[in-house]
């Protein structure tokens, strides 16, 4: 049950979205109910250890060995994660043209699995692997099978899940790890097809996201602290255009001063109600 304040806020959101379609921008908060950890707490502060930076990944084979050893153990949980009711509600809103598009910071493909289409993946997808030597992409499942065959000593090792398919693995398990080679060119610089910390969003992707925002009547942010500039810049563009900027998020966001409305409620509770109201 919603409290009276949240009901009033939902009423206002429904009114704002009733006439013209908004674009929706999602972050980690929409996927945490599906069992995928997020990076930040309710104050926007990063949890746990520093994630691997892009230059660190590029600079040394030891860094890539550390990344892939941990990621091999983290991938099964990402692959098995299922969309939750919030993903499904957004897919429903898109199918009935109540939203005009979907941009996500997440790399788990749960929006696609829920039935959304033409999702703009700001930060890429863990379901693909990119070779930095030849530029070819491979399915992550095939690379996973290769790693598991080459590193049987890690079978059955239990590691705590971390954001974006990472794990908290004891460094003693990393030294023997065989890093996968590209099946196309045998190169050793394989990278998940995601934007690392310290790496820029692809120019074409950034432009596509900005174009979607500029075309929309407003922007609804769901489950994001907006600490990543790639997402915050979209909010700032909407505010500069004088269009409604709304957030459904538990805790602080970088755009709090720009928001026209902020609903601090769980997205898996609120989005199904919004979808039901807008489709009636």
256 is in an annotated binding site: no
Could you tell me if 72 and 215 are in contact, meaning their C-beta atoms sit under 8 angstroms apart? no
Could you tell me if 233 and 201 are in contact, meaning their C-beta atoms sit under 8 angstroms apart? no
CA 72/CA 151 separation, integer angstroms? 10
CA 28/CA 36 separation, integer angstroms? 8
113 is in an annotated binding site: no
69-86 as b/e: b if 16+ CB within 10 A: bbbbbbbeebeebebbbb
CA 211/CA 242 separation, integer angstroms? 16
94 is in an annotated binding site: no
235 is in an annotated binding site: no
225 is in an annotated binding site: yes
250 is in an annotated binding site: yes
* DSSP result, 128-172: EEEETTT--EEEHHHHHHHHHHH-GGGTT---EE-GGG-EE--GG
107 is in an annotated binding site: yes
Q: At what angle do helices 85-95 and 267-279 cross, to 10 degrees?
A: 20
182 is in an annotated binding site: yes
Could you tell me if 210 and 184 are in contact, meaning their C-beta atoms sit under 8 angstroms apart? no
CA 40/CA 187 separation, integer angstroms? 34
267 is in an annotated binding site: yes
3-state SS assignment for residue 213: helix
Is 123 tagged catalytic?
A: yes
What are 14's two structure tokens? 């429904």
Hunting for tokens 């805790």 — which residue is that? 251
224 is in an annotated binding site: yes
* Annotated active-site residue in 87, 111, 123, 127: 123
Could you tell me if 74 and 161 are in contact, meaning their C-beta atoms sit under 8 angstroms apart? yes
Residue stretches of the annotated binding site for Zn(2+):
131, 134, 182, 185
User: Which residues participate in the annotated binding site?
Assistant: 105-108, 131, 134, 182, 185, 223-225, 249-251, 267
Catalytic residues: 123
Q: Annotated binding site for NAD(+), which residues?
A: 105-108, 223-225, 249-251, 267
């Amino acid at each position: 049950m919603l409290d009276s304040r949240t009901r009033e806020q939902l009423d206002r959101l429904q009114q704002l979205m009733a006439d013209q379609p908004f674009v929706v921008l999602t972050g980690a908060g929409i996927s945490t109910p599906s069992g995928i950890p997020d990076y930040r707490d309710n104050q926007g502060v990063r949890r746990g250890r520093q994630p691997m930076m892009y230059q660190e990944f590029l600079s040394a084979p030891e860094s890539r060995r550390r990344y892939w050893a941990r990621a091999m153990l983290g991938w099964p949980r990402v692959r098995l994660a299922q969309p939750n009711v919030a993903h499904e509600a957004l897919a429903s809103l898109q199918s009935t043209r109540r939203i005009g598009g979907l941009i996500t910071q997440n790399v788990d493909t749960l929006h696609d699995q829920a039935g959304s289409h033409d999702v703009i993946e700001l930060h890429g997808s863990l379901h693909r692997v990119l070779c930095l030597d030849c530029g070819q992409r491979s399915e992550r499942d095939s690379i996973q099978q290769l790693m598991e065959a080459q590193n049987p000593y890690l079978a059955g090792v239990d590691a705590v899940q971390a954001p974006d398919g990472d794990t908290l693995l004891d460094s003693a398990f990393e030294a023997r790890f065989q890093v996968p080679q590209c099946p196309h060119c045998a190169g050793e610089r394989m990278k998940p097809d995601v934007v690392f910390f310290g790496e820029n969003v692809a120019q074409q992707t950034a432009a596509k996201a900005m174009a979607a925002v500029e075309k929309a009547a407003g922007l609804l942010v769901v489950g994001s602290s907006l600490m990543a500039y790639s997402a915050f810049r979209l909010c700032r563009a909407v505010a500069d255009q004088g269009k409604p900027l709304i957030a459904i998020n538990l805790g602080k966001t970088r755009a709090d001063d720009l928001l026209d409305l902020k609903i601090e409620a769980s997205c898996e509770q609120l989005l199904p109600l919004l979808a039901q109201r807008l489709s009636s």
